Chains A and B, each alone.
Chain A
Amino acid sequence: GDSVTQMEGPVTLSEEAFLTINCTYTATGYPSLFWYVQYPGEGLQLLLKATKADDKGSNKGFEATYRKETTSFHLEKGSVQVSDSAVYFCALNAPLSGGSNYKLTFGKGTLLTVNP
């Protein structure tokens, strides 16, 4: 079945440091890939997405490139802020056989703490 593996952390960085959170996936077909962020006490918010190979998703200074050859979708940010402290989830949506079903498969999440 489909699966997503991401570095579990926790990751602790100082403000303005460079961030990378690794994510690799296994899926049949051609999945769409997503990064979601969850702030304390909140639901998940979509951070960025990519729907086909070599697409780059970007938002709020975060970027991730869909690499089909390495089945990866690593999240990066050049300079993190205290307000980026949250849990980050990598996810995929691979259409299931037999119809247009929708199911997200998530990684276990990576807790990021940014210190001033």
Chain B
Amino acid sequence: KAGVTQTPRYLIKTRGQQVTLSCSPISGHRSVSWYQQTPGQGLQFLFEYFSETQRNKGNFPGRFSGRQFSNSRSEMNVSTLELGDSALYLCASSSGVVGGTEAFFGQGTRLTVV
């Protein structure tokens, strides 16, 4: 069974540009969550999608957005990039059932904003 796949693995963008990251969840999983990991703030929740609907959202500005397609693949978009957006972006998939269902993470996309 294939794991969670995130593309690309590495990105370098210039301040002010926009970027789109992609995540393919484990087959059969309908929930995709996104997290930002930085040395200073640790792991912070961005948002979660389930069956193409955003179910939950963290405390990030509107420049951060996402969507989910009918095949459960998800994309995350960051517009008007700032230097502080440099981070490892992690995607996690799960079945989406409430409670103890664990999340499986991809290897992440390392975004560097220069």
A residues bordering B, Cβ < 8 Å? 32, 34, 36, 41-46, 49, 51, 89, 93, 95-96, 99-109
Asked if A93 meets B33 with Cβ closer than 8 Å, knowing A44-B105, A101-B48, the reply is: no
**Interface size bucket, B side?**
20 to 34
Cα A84 to Cα B63 with chains together (Å): 38
In the complex, the answer to whether A100 meets B33 with C-beta atoms within 8 Å is no
Which residues of B (65-99) have their CB < 8 Å from a CB of A? Answer: 90, 92, 94, 96-99
In the complex, the answer to whether A109 meets B42 with C-beta atoms within 8 Å is yes
Q: Please, which residues of chain A bring their CB within 8 A of the CB of B42?
A: 106-109
In the complex, besides A99-B98, A101-B55, A106-B43, 6 extra interface pairs with C-beta distance below 8 angstroms are A51-B99, A102-B48, A102-B101, A103-B56, A104-B33, A106-B35
**B64 within 8 Å of A (CB atoms):** no
In the complex, the answer to whether A103 meets B45 with C-beta atoms within 8 Å is yes
In the complex, the answer to whether A104 meets B99 with C-beta atoms within 8 Å is no
Asked if A49 meets B33 with Cβ closer than 8 Å, knowing A101-B48, A102-B94, A103-B48, the reply is: no
List 11 interface pairs A-B (beta carbons < 8 Å), by A numbering.
Answer: A36-B105, A51-B100, A93-B99, A101-B48, A101-B56, A102-B56, A102-B94, A103-B56, A104-B33, A104-B43, A106-B35
User: Given A41, A46, A89, A102, which contacts B43 in the complex, CB threshold below 8 Å?
Assistant: A89
Cα A96 to Cα B56 with chains together (Å): 9
**B27 within 8 Å of A (CB atoms):** no
Cα A107 to Cα B33 with chains together (Å): 17
In the complex, the answer to whether B98 meets A100 with C-beta atoms within 8 Å is yes
Q: Please, which residues of chain B bring their CB within 8 A of the CB of A99?
A: 55, 98
In the complex, the answer to whether A105 meets B45 with C-beta atoms within 8 Å is yes
Cα A103 to Cα B101 with chains together (Å): 11
What are the 8 closest A-B residue pairs judged by CB atoms, nearest first?
A51-B100, A100-B98, A32-B100, A43-B105, A106-B43, A44-B105, A108-B42, A43-B107
Q: Please, which residues of chain B bring their CB within 8 A of the CB of A49?
A: 100, 102
What are the interface flags for B34-74 relative to A under an 8 Å C-beta threshold, 1 for contact and 0 otherwise? 01000000110100101000011010000000000000000
